[in-house]
């Protein structure tokens, strides 16, 4: 399947209409926005998932963030995934498809297929954590060559992420993704601190201690789960900062997170 971009520079995740596992017809198709780095040598890639409570997508957590990685020599991609009225598993399918798609087109995009990371803010961070803990090795028998690719990310970056749908969860994100009357088993399965295993990829987490939208305990719970499973992780908790700060340029402490993250990725060969 060749790379085919739309007039606005986006790429549809599927060649036709997206699958509709939740029974909701997609009026706006999920797309990937490539922001390639310069140079000819293959290098790593980061797929950016903006936040927005699974109700919308925050623009300041998309292209500006991808471009920050691009400037550092890491290919950036922005995922515009489905949000409400779509429900689980539609957003997860979009994230998994994006990972598969980047790997499938690795040669054309000059991406190392074994260095594909996913990054998310807030509810996009929940989607990122879900992709880090719910993945497969691909389906070799699929007639779609993209679906033959595995969807396990090689690293995950969690930015003031919603992790849990338990005591410290974000009710709005949970309701938009699952509905207000979701079965407890489903809520538990998507409380991602409970799904970390020895196969979970390395994680970079950052949060602010006084985040009033998504409590910092979300980051702490995921870090604890990574530690229990002896998985590599970096955790940075900054003292001050409201929820939703994106690149955090106005915060003297938290503004260093992109540099810390880029260094972390480069140490892993991105």
Chain segment 197-222, per-residue pLDDT in tens: 999 999 999 999 999 999 999 999 99
Domain membership flag for residue 24: no
Is 91 contained in some domain?
yes
Largest CA distance in the chain: 51
C-alpha triplet 187, 189, 190: angle, nearest 5°:
65
* CA separation for the pair 246, 64 (Å, rounded): 9
What distance in Å separates the CA atoms of residue 52 and residue 54, rounded to the nearest whole number? 6
CATH number at residue 207: 3.40.50.1820
Judge whether residue 159 has pLDDT over 70.
Answer: yes
State mean pLDDT over 13-31. Answer: 89
Using DSSP's 3-state secondary structure scheme, residue 201 falls into coil
pLDDT over 90, % of the chain = 92
Is residue 42 in a domain? yes
Give residue 22's pLDDT band: very low, low, confident or very high (50, 70, 90): confident
Distance of alpha carbon 64 from alpha carbon 108, whole angstroms: 23
Q: What is the pLDDT of residues 218-253, one digit of tens each?
A: 999 999 999 999 999 999 999 999 999 999 999 999
Query: Is 168 inside any structural domain?
Result: yes
pLDDT in tens, 87-101: 999 999 999 999 999
User: Does some domain include residue 6?
Assistant: no
Domain count, the chain: 1
Q: Which domain holds residue 230?
A: 11-19+29-267
3 lies in some domain: no
Residue 258 has pLDDT above 70, yes or no: yes
- Confidence (pLDDT) at 208: 98
pLDDT at residue 26, as a whole number? 80
Task: Indicate whether 175 pLDDT > 90.
Answer: yes
Residue 2 lies in a domain: no
Confidence of residue 23 (pLDDT cuts 50, 70, 90): confident
Q: Does 5 map to a domain?
A: no
Based on its alpha-carbon atoms, the radius of gyration of the chain, rounded to whole angstroms, reads 17
User: What is the DSSP secondary structure assignment for residue 218, as one 8-state letter?
Assistant: H
Given a contact cutoff of 8 angstroms between Cβ atoms, the answer to whether 76 and 38 are in contact is: no
User: What is d(CA 50, CA 161) in angstroms, rounded to the nearest whole number?
Assistant: 11
Distance (Å, whole) CA 237 – CA 216: 8
Decide which of 156 and 15 is more confident.
156
Alpha-carbon distance of 248 to 145, in angstroms, equals: 39
What is the distance between the alpha carbons of residues 37 and 76, in angstroms, rounded to a whole number? Answer: 7
């Amino acid at each position: 399947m060749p790379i085919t971009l739309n007039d606005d520079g986006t790429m549809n995740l599927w060649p036709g209409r997206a699958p509709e596992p939740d029974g909701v017809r997609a009026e706006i198709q999920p797309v990937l926005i490539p922001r390639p780095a310069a140079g000819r040598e293959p290098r790593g890639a980061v797929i950016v998932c903006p936040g927005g409570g699974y109700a919308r997508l925050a623009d300041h957590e998309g292209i500006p963030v991808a471009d920050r990685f691009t400037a550092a020599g890491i290919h950036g991609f922005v995922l515009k995934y489905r949000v409400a009225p779509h429900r689980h598993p539609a957003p997860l399918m979009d994230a998994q498809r994006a990972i598969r798609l980047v790997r499938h087109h690795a040669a054309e995009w000059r991406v190392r297929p074994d260095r594909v990371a996913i990054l998310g803010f807030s509810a996009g961070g929940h989607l990122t954590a879900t992709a880090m803990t719910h993945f497969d090795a691909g389906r070799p028998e699929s007639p779609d060559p993209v679906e033959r690719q595995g969807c396990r990310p090689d690293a995950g970056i969690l930015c003031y992420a919603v992790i849990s749908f338990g005591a410290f969860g974000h009710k709005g994100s949970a309701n938009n993704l699952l509905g207000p009357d979701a079965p407890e088993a489903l809520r538990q399965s998507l409380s991602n601190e409970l799904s970390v295993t020895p196969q979970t990829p390395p994680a970079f987490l950052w949060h602010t201690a006084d985040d009033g939208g998504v409590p910092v305990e979300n980051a702490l719970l995921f870090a604890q789960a990574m530690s229990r499973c002896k998985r590599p992780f970096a955790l940075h908790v900054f003292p001050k900062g409201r929820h939703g700060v994106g690149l955090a340029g106005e915060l003297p402490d938290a503004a260093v997170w992109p540099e810390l993250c880029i260094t972390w990725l480069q140490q892993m060969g991105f």
